[in-house]
Structure 1
């Protein structure tokens, strides 16, 4: 998706896949962007994340409206879990159940070792959205149950809805742009 002539799909390779998937919904220049809200957008996201999903380039990403509905449900459930972790609360039981159930789908993959090196091999007939749901939810369960969960933050910058891992000491925002927006907002509030 583009806004103001700029590609909005930004890959942050150090973030867990679950955090990246929740980041498919964000604000850009004050406009709400939903990267996976259409079949084309979801297919584009899948293509960008193929290596992290364990999908090779030959797996076609033919996705339709039911896949978008499934993707949005997964994103909402994962976001509920991340919100609960950051806020110190409990997630809705339905979200926890959906993530747990979808994460079990990774058991369908096997590690193959062709000439090019190790890779995940999914059985024939596994749908692309099943792979996406399994990998994103497995990433969420690994994040939530690992020591890395202590690094998860919600960006406090104005108009930002992203989560990020605070990988640097004192990191407060998901990006330098959000840090600048927050400083400008503070300065404006002081001068008013």
Structure 2
């Protein structure tokens, strides 16, 4: 199974992209397990993952209502962590359990707090979210921009022949 994973985006954006057109990567337990395995994450319940995914999509598209915020906060509370001292005398937070959905919710909250605004791909047949590192970026992946350029080229060729 090939999942719509860009591989360059923050985890919450990749997670939001699990709903790709009519294809739901979390639609069945087998699909969800495959997506989480492909991403190198632990196992998560497909139903709960869909609930979190919907809240993350809403929050990242700036249409978050109080319900979506509550869902994000509830899942983030499931990611307990402890402060651990490292060898270089620096501390970092480390998860004490493998609560995958809690980590995704926490990452989504961090993205929102940092002011990251994901965009939708400009290709008419795509719609994946991505974080634009450059203000002029319009497509999630070079293949999408290639398809749009190719379609524009063919339209021009047809107009010239007419």
Q: TM class, shorter-chain normalised?
A: 0.7 to 0.9
Q: Contact between 1:158 and 1:181, CA under 8 Å: does it hold in 2?
A: no
- Residue of structure 1 equivalent to 2:15: 21
Decide which of 25, 36, 39 is 1:46's aligned counterpart: 36
RMSD of aligned residue pairs (Cα, Å)? 2.8
Closer/same/farther in 2, CA of residues 73 and 188 from structure 1, 3 Å limit: farther
Which structure would you say has the larger Rg?
2
When normalised by structure 1's length, the TM-score is 0.67
Deviations 1:24-71 (A, max 9, x none): 2225xxxx4322211112112222333xx5x5xxxxx3x6xxx21111
2:54 matches 1:73: no
- Return the alpha-carbon distance in structure 2 between the equivalents of residues 155 and 37 of structure 1: 23
- 1:35-184 correspondence to structure 2 within 5 Å: 35-50=25-40, 53=41, 61=43, 67-84=45-62, 90-106=63-79, 108-110=80-82, 120-123=94-97, 131-147=99-115, 149-150=116-117, 152-168=118-134, 170-184=136-150
CA drift of 1:73 comes to 1.1
Instruction: Give 3-state SS (helix, strand or coil) of 1:73's partner.
Output: helix
CA drift of 1:97 comes to 1.3
When normalised by structure 2's length, the TM-score is 0.77
Closer/same/farther in 2, CA of residues 9 and 174 from structure 1, 3 Å limit: closer
- Return the alpha-carbon distance in structure 1 between the equivalents of residues 112 and 47 of structure 2: 24
Deviations 1:67-93 (A, max 9, x none): 211111111111011112xxxxx4222
- Residue of structure 2 equivalent to 1:58: none
Q: Contact between 1:112 and 1:121, CA under 8 Å: does it hold in 2?
A: no
Instruction: Give 3-state SS (helix, strand or coil) of 1:105's partner.
Output: coil
Q: Contact between 2:3 and 2:35, CA under 8 Å: does it hold in 1?
A: no
- Return the alpha-carbon distance in structure 2 between the equivalents of residues 33 and 187 of structure 1: 29
Which sections of structure 1, spanning at least 5 residues, go unmatched?
2-6, 56-60, 85-89
Deviations 1:88-128 (A, max 9, x none): xx42221121112211222x1336689xxx994434xxxx6
